[in-house]
Amino acid sequence: MEGGRNLTCLSIRSQHIEALPPLPPKLQQLDVTGCCNLHALPALPTTLRELLCAGCAALTPLPSSLSATAASVLSSIDCTRLEGLPQLPPSLVDLRVDRCARFLQLPALPNALTRLDAWGCTALRELPALLESLSRLHCPGCESLKQLPALAHTAITELTCSHCSLLQDLPDMPDSLKQLRAYGLTRVTRLPRLPTQSMHLLCIAETSVSQLTGLPSRVDALRCNGTRIQRLPALESCRSLELADCVHLQQLPEQLPADLCELNCRECSSLQQLPEQLPTGLTSLDCSGCSALKRLPALLPATLERLEVRLEVSNCIALEQLPELPATMKVLRCGRQPWDIGRFAKTVAFFNEPPSPQQLLQALLSVPAKALSGLMQGGSSSSGSSSAQQGAIITLLPASGVPYGVAVTGSAANVVLVTGATGGVGKRVVQQLLAQGRVVRALVRDVDKAKQLLGSLPVAAGGCLQLVAADISQRQTLSPDMFDGVRAVVSCTAVKVQPKEGDTVDRAKYYQGIKFYDPEIVGDTPEAVEFRGLQNVVELAQQQLGLEAGQVILSADEASAARWGALDDVVMGGVSESSMVFSRDGGEDGGAALVFRGRVSTDNSGGFVSVRCKNYEPLLPLAGYEGLALRVKGNGLRYKCIIRTDTNWDGIGYCRSFDTTPGEWQDIFLPFSEFIPVFRARTLRDGTKLDPSGIASIQIMLSKFEYDGELNPAFKTGLVELPITSIRGYLKQPVTPRFVHVSSAGVTRPNRPGINVDQEPPAVKLNDALGGLLTYKLAGEDALRSSGLPYAIVRPTALTEEPAGAPLEIDQGDVIKGKISREDVADLCVSLLQQPAATGVTFEIKSTVPFSQPWAPETPAAARDWAAELAAAGLKRGVTGRTVDGVYTGKQPEAEALKQKAAAV
């Protein structure tokens, strides 16, 4: 990877990659997530800060050089062949080794570590000593773990150790602990020492605990479902109390916490009575299945009159009578709820609309049309040979060794498309990308010419050169297939200009760039190439590259709401119900939102509500994005986002759970790489990874269960609502330019107020004579700037054939003049693909060597630090140098310049 020595961020996603070449010495982030055939990593540079290798199922082992890095984050989730980790760097803060099934133990933990996730490490026998810095420990499903290390001295706030089936005791907890999830520990018979003051969540469901001693004075949510407790101690403060399936529980304390809102004691078969005085703020009471319960309190809390609440006493066979009920009581259940077959049919019909008469007619007509097409193809092979080449992707230089990005072909590829690839700058861009081991797709008009010019270029390991024939000025020659797998575009296309007196076969007069020859346009017009042609490429690139602001999937309007329908537990006999409704004032600051609203019940073995959008036709292409971002107002519950890539009514889904914060608007980011294949809440261990190139539907769910029978740690029954203002696809952060366009200095100078064209480069004075060359170059720039793509626009001065390495000047406002080597421009274009600071920026560049002075260095130029050069230039977004409404905007962002003009009037 000699061509990428200055890379600081390297992301490789491939199911074919088996090894990596030596890494750049300045690399700070290495992301090889999903490289399931990657066997080993090379030595890691000391500058490395993040190592992400989740899903590298063949990886073993990690290099020992990890200990000498500056890494703060290490993720080896689903690295199923790893048997352990090397010594960890002292800077490590975040360690995630979920589902590393061969881990027997972990190395000593560094002092800086605050987070340790080891979910599903089924062979892990012990954890190392934990340090004071640790604030989160997640190790559920570690089936071989017999004990936890001491915790009392740590600053831990969150501990999850559910379903560690060999754990017999829990260590004493520090006062800092806020959340303890310890359900499914069947061998644990007693509680450890707990914080004395307060906890947000204490979950000891499905344990063998028989006494609740030493509880904190305040527990926001206490979940003791399925334990052996016989009595409940007095609690000072608790808002949510779950005692379901506590079959030995005989009574509740006469004085329940005054702030209690939810009480769930369903299936407590030994419970004979409830306290006479229930908390005045109680809104939800569930005592379904309490077969020994003989009576309810004579007076129900006043809140039951004011709120829509649930009073569930289903299957309370000993209950002799009900108390006087409030007149406003809305829900009373005293038996198994009937299945609402009408709502079930309505749900099925919403997501499986019958074909319209027009669709039926089209389907019928398509059958003979296809048959006729087959007959017509019988003797037309000779006439179709040239059209087969038009638009077909031809591999000129095949891949070998280790791909830079991912698979060479297909929607998962990481292809760089280069237009104008046989031109002076374009062929150099192709050369440099191949030298980095990139997969390059050259879009050319003349395949034979491209083979002659590009066929002998050197290719680094993993590099590959593909050719595709098209004319960007002719929209019909371009197709979406040409952009399949494209994740970046370098646009080097330009109209053909030559001296009126003629030129040599190799266009030497034009390329030399120093001596002036009276020019003329040859072939297509500037409008056709510089504007319409670029516009065509931009439009086709948008779906593959992704928009900087993200792809809007859900917005807060009535049209979006109409696409979403309820998909609740009615499909399996349950009685929960929900909807997605448009609210004009339910959003932030009184704005609009879509509200996922429902009533959740576990009656009839149900327990989930969800909303799902109708299938996208065609499928939604999101391969260019990193994941989904949701803007929601949280309620403290844990939801699932489910993506489907096929249109089946009940097929495989890809799930990612997410937590919400009560009462706060928050952005939820769900990377596609973290979605897991699931069928009916059961994970598919051998399932394929999510391919976001074609998404059929998206679903948001609140369910009693997580996956594989595990309970949702943040679930509630009753009324729930989740306001959502947007769902969108988001790009990998930080966003780098994905469309780099080579324009020209001078594009804003024709007709600029006060300009002296005689002192400008010849193209400014000859703009009209050359068919509006600069005018249409600017129009092409504007089309790219308004596209929403993450772009960078380079405006070089006069291009020369001189070598690279001359001192440079980078500026904005379109005022500089001079010359610059095509080698330098090509090097810049390739580097811009990795420069976040260049995103959304338009700038000019030139050499500071005088125009008349040749640049002829005695030694080859050293690699240029483009990041430093761009930073030193202080580039600003929004600066174009255009003249708008008679105002030359100069080096100010256009919006700022126009605002100043308006203020001065």
Beta strands in 139-283 (DSSP E): 158-160, 179-181, 198-203, 218-223, 240-242, 262-264
User: pLDDT category, 598, cuts 50, 70, 90?
Assistant: very high
Confidence of residue 173 (pLDDT cuts 50, 70, 90): very high
CA distance 137 to 127: 11
Per-residue model confidence (pLDDT) at position 510: 63
Among 75-89, 382-396, 816-830, the range of highest mean pLDDT: 816-830
pLDDT at 834 over 80: yes
Tokens for 154, please give them: 């740590």
Segment 573-600 shows an average pLDDT of 91
Rounded to a whole number of angstroms, the CA Rg of the chain reads 33
pLDDT at residue 550 in the model: 93
Q: 354-387: per-residue pLDDT in tens?
A: 655 665 555 555 544 444 444 334 433 333 333 4
Q: Is the pLDDT of residue 76 over 80?
A: yes
Model confidence over 37-50: pLDDT tens digits? 898 999 999 999 99
pLDDT tens digits, one per residue of 114-135: 999 998 898 999 999 988 899 9
For position 407, what pLDDT does the model report? Answer: 35
Can you give the pLDDT at residue 51?
Answer: 96
Environment class of 58 (CB within 10 Å of its CB; exposed 0-12, middle 13-18, buried 19+):
middle
Mean pLDDT for the stretch of residues 747-769:
91
pLDDT at 239: 94
- Within 10 angstroms of residue 24's Cβ, the number of other Cβ atoms is 20
Contact between residue 550 and residue 626 where contact means Cβ atoms under 8 Å apart: no
For residue 863, pLDDT over 60 is answered with: yes
Q: Which of 244-248, 361-365, 505-509 has the highest mean pLDDT?
A: 244-248
Asked if residue 235 has pLDDT above 60, the reply is yes
* Mean pLDDT, range 65-85, rounded to an integer: 93
pLDDT at 900: 84
Give 847's pLDDT tier (boundaries 50, 70, 90): very high
Task: Check if the beta carbon of residue 796 is closer than 8 Å to that of residue 845.
Answer: yes
> Quick one: what percent of the chain has pLDDT higher than 90?
60
Strands 240-242 and 262-264: parallel
In tens, the pLDDT along 653-688 reads: 999 999 999 999 999 999 999 999 998 888 888 888
Please tell me the distance from the alpha carbon of residue 621 to that of residue 696, in angstroms, as a whole number.
Answer: 9
d(CA 598, CA 703): 12
For strand 808-811 and strand 841-847, is the pairing parallel, antiparallel, or unpaired? antiparallel
Q: Please, which pLDDT band fits residue 154 given cuts at 50, 70 and 90? A: very high
Predicted TM-score (pTM) of the model is 0.64
Which spans in 352-423 are helix H? 357-376, 385-389
Q: Report domain 551-730's class.
A: mainly beta
Report how far residue 201's alpha carbon sits from residue 149's, in angstroms, rounded to the nearest whole number: 21
pLDDT at 233 over 50: yes
CA distance 435 to 395: 17
DSSP state of 66: G
In this prediction, residue 640 carries a pLDDT of 97
**What is the mean predicted confidence (pLDDT) over 527-547?**
94
Select from 888, 864, 866, 865 the least CA-distant residue to 875.
Answer: 866
- Provide the phi-psi class of 242: left if phi over 0, else alpha when psi is between -120 and 50, else beta: beta
CA of residue 220 relative to chain centroid, distance:
33
How far is CA 76 from each of CA 55, 98, 543, 592, 790, rounded to the nearest angstrom?
7, 7, 31, 41, 30
Best CA proximity match to 207, nearest among 182, 232, 230: 182
Contact between 247 and 269 (Cβ < 8 Å) = yes
Q: What mean pLDDT is predicted for residues 194-210? A: 91
Quote the DSSP letter at residue 695. Answer: B
Query: What whole-number distance in Å separates Cα of residue 74 and Cα of residue 54?
Result: 9
* pLDDT tens for each residue of 305-320: 433 344 555 556 667 6
Nearest to 617 by CA among 694, 700, 555: 694
Name residue, tokens 């249109």: 647
The model's confidence at residue 332, banded by pLDDT at 50, 70 and 90, is: low
Q: State how far Cα 4 lies from the chain centre.
A: 25
How high is the pLDDT of residue 379? 39
User: Residue 659's pLDDT is what?
Assistant: 93
Spatial neighbors of 125 by CB under 8 A, at least 6 apart, are 104, 105, 144, 145, 146
List the structure tokens of 582: 């448009």
Residue 462 pLDDT class (50, 70, 90 cuts): confident
Q: What is the pLDDT of residues 423-434, one digit of tens each?
A: 999 999 999 999
Q: What is the DSSP string of 541-556?
A: HHHHH--TT-EEEEES
Average the pLDDT over each of 391-405, 579-593, 704-718 and give the range with the smallest value.
391-405
> Phi and psi at residue 288, in whole multiples of 5°?
-60, 140
Per residue in 251-270, pLDDT tens?
Answer: 899 899 999 999 988 888 89
* Band of pLDDT at residue 290, cut at 50, 70 and 90: confident
Enumerate the domain spans of the chain. 551-730
For residue 85, give the amino acid letter. Answer: L
686-709 tens-digit pLDDT? 888 999 999 999 999 999 988 888
Region of residue 383 (phi > 0: left; psi between -120 and 50: alpha; otherwise: beta): alpha
- pLDDT of 316 reads 64
Nearest Cα neighbor of 891 from 903, 877, 879 is 879
Confidence of residue 327 (pLDDT cuts 50, 70, 90): low
Task: Please give the mean pLDDT across all residues of the chain.
Answer: 87
User: Confidence band (pLDDT; 50, 70, 90) for 543?
Assistant: confident
